Structure 1
């Protein structure tokens, strides 16, 4: 019983005595006895309460921990974990489940579209570059043109350069620039930086650097526009025996892919050293270059010529589009050729723009026409 409860009962007992005048001696004795017991209980509770000491809690900072936090270079470290699960070498290649064509020509377009590049932002937004109509176009979820940005000059390359930003290559054969476009409520041009030999198709973004096609090879710029180095045509000798040049065909999270415009494509890291070669007599070469510019792989198939677009499927399969051979060939990341997805007889001519839509799991293909080809794959 608490002190408050005891006092309440004591008051109740007193009220009973005062309200009942005809209480006999026995009844009055009982009520007085109850009151004495309640008073004794209240006294004990009061003494017990006074004897209990208040406890003060004090918090002291751990100075050693504070010093460790201040000295630490990071509190949380994130790492991208590469998928190790790969397709079995004997597994059947991907097949086209369905194919549709979407008209991407706008009312104000004066020329037949020439889709020279397609890229996807982290939120899934698709942006395509239309060289003949001098615009880049944002697509909706049905791949129809939502809005566009007039560049004043035909785009010669496009790549995603930020969460809501794309970089576009524009210019002439002597000079040019990398124009950044913010993708928000509208498409708006922001900053830019000058480049050499801007009038040649070819732009890729890998390891926080821009890989820009030039008359003599590839120039590499940082995001501020500082030219870091050049890779000349002699590099293509690391890819194949009969190169026609080098071209930055695309990139994934581990490699920049450089085509020799003939039979090979090399995967290169940022140190430009070839470490792995993908070979198939039917494919033009492509080199895979990792972030240290080391050539990590080379892919070849004689059926493929003039690779100008490389895109990566969700489980590491690479799609390579031949601009001259009018086809798309698939490779596993370990170099095994999985065959043709699109053959020359499918009449998809002069493929220059290609992007795998990770949001909807479809391969998007563009060329010198008003159509965007949407391929849904069945694996």
Structure 2
């Protein structure tokens, strides 16, 4: 059952750049949409999501070991059973998506019609966060390090090794079993959320900037909109907008504490509908229709 809430911009303030004020969003509508199916044994736990060129949405359901495909109205249209627990999903090319699985696996999936499993690849590291741009796929492991792959699943090299000097940060990745990642629209930068920080690197793994903020506990979801702005969600249920260079917090888009029944894990920007899609440990996704 879908729940729709009309809303204006939430009354939350964050220091922001005045020069970017014309690009600020407000939330026109909040919708909660059920994505649990009759075949689901467990409650949904969505750990990864992406939009494919058709406008459909793919959701990786950790608890039920499924890949779910939603139409552009966010209704579940088909489900594909997976051999192992999924962590994330990204679209690569030619109607093919890749799902990162437990036990160090990458699973290729034909996304047309009812979805079909293609080849799977065993890797020499855990595969959690996934993102693709052009002919490059980037995989983040359970420690937060980043590897480059071809879209055929051929490993190229480790491009970024997270510092393990801070044992608390190191344990954060292990305990949460999540390492989100997204890429800028031109493919030149990668964004890596962590504990109280957002790390920005270039596509060769060179560190560009680390945005630290003790008041904002960056969580799991990260995505980029059609203008290049970065969005993350935090442990206070805020969705936060950040500048394209990863240096400046521009806006708190909204707070979701009164909507979602569980911890959020993934965030996707629906460019066609100008909406943010938030999902996590819940049988519903939250769709935030945006306006300027």
| Equivalent of 2:221 in 301, 309, 334 | 309
C-alpha deviation, 1:306, in angstroms: 4.0
- Do the aligned partners of 1:121 and 1:163 also contact (CA within 8 Å) in 2? no
2:280 is matched with which residue? Answer: 367
* Residue 202 (structure 2) pairs with residue 202 (structure 1): no
| Equivalent of 1:148 in 37, 57, 79 | 79
- Do the aligned partners of 1:265 and 1:307 also contact (CA within 8 Å) in 2? no
1:177 is matched with which residue? Answer: 105
1:268 is matched with which residue? Answer: 201
2:141 is matched with which residue? Answer: 214
Q: Which has the higher contact order (CA 8 A, sep 6+)?
A: 2
C-alpha deviation, 1:92, in angstroms: 7.4
C-alpha deviation, 1:155, in angstroms: 0.7
**What aligned pairs does 1:51-62 form with structure 2 within 5 A after superposition?**
none
1:232 is matched with which residue? Answer: 161
- Do the aligned partners of 2:106 and 2:122 also contact (CA within 8 Å) in 1? yes
Task: Name the SS of the counterpart of 2:44 in structure 1.
Answer: coil
Residues 92, 157 of structure 1: CA spacing in aligned structure 2 closer, same or farther, 3 A cutoff? closer
Which protein has the bigger helix share? 1
- Deviation digits for residues 262-307 of structure 1, max 9, x if unmatched? 12212222222223x3xxxxxxxxxxxxxxxxxxxx3333333243
C-alpha deviation, 1:248, in angstroms: 4.1
- Do the aligned partners of 1:89 and 1:336 also contact (CA within 8 Å) in 2? no
**What aligned pairs does 1:105-184 form with structure 2 within 5 A after superposition?**
105-172=36-103, 176-184=104-112
Task: Name the SS of the counterpart of 1:374 in structure 2.
Answer: strand
Instruction: Give me the whole-angstrom Cα distance separating, in 1, the residues matched to 2:56 and 2:259.
Output: 28
Number of residue pairs the alignment of both structures matches: 264
Task: Name the SS of the counterpart of 1:233 in structure 2.
Answer: coil
C-alpha deviation, 1:132, in angstroms: 0.6
C-alpha deviation, 1:169, in angstroms: 0.8
- Deviation digits for residues 150-183 of structure 1, max 9, x if unmatched? 11322111111114111001122xxx21111111
Q: Which shifted more, 160-169 or 106-115?
A: 160-169
TM-score scaled by length of structure 2: 0.80
Instruction: Give me the whole-angstrom Cα distance separating, in 1, the residues matched to 2:96 and 2:134.
Output: 16
Which protein has the bigger strand share? 2
- Deviation digits for residues 111-140 of structure 1, max 9, x if unmatched? 100111110112212111111111111112
- Deviation digits for residues 40-85 of structure 1, max 9, x if unmatched? xxxxxxxxxxxxxxxxxxxxxxxxxxxxxxxxxxxxxxxxxxxxxx
- Do the aligned partners of 2:267 and 2:279 also contact (CA within 8 Å) in 1? yes
**What aligned pairs does 1:250-261 form with structure 2 within 5 A after superposition?**
250-253=182-185, 254=187, 255-259=189-193, 261=194
TM-score scaled by length of structure 1: 0.63
2:242 is matched with which residue? Answer: 331
C-alpha deviation, 1:143, in angstroms: 0.5
Q: Which shifted more, 325-334 or 366-375?
A: 325-334
Instruction: Give me the whole-angstrom Cα distance separating, in 2, the residues matched to 1:92 and 1:142.
Output: 26
Q: Which has the larger radius of gyration?
A: 1
**What aligned pairs does 1:6-155 form with structure 2 within 5 A after superposition?**
88-91=19-22, 93-155=24-86
C-alpha deviation, 1:360, in angstroms: 1.2
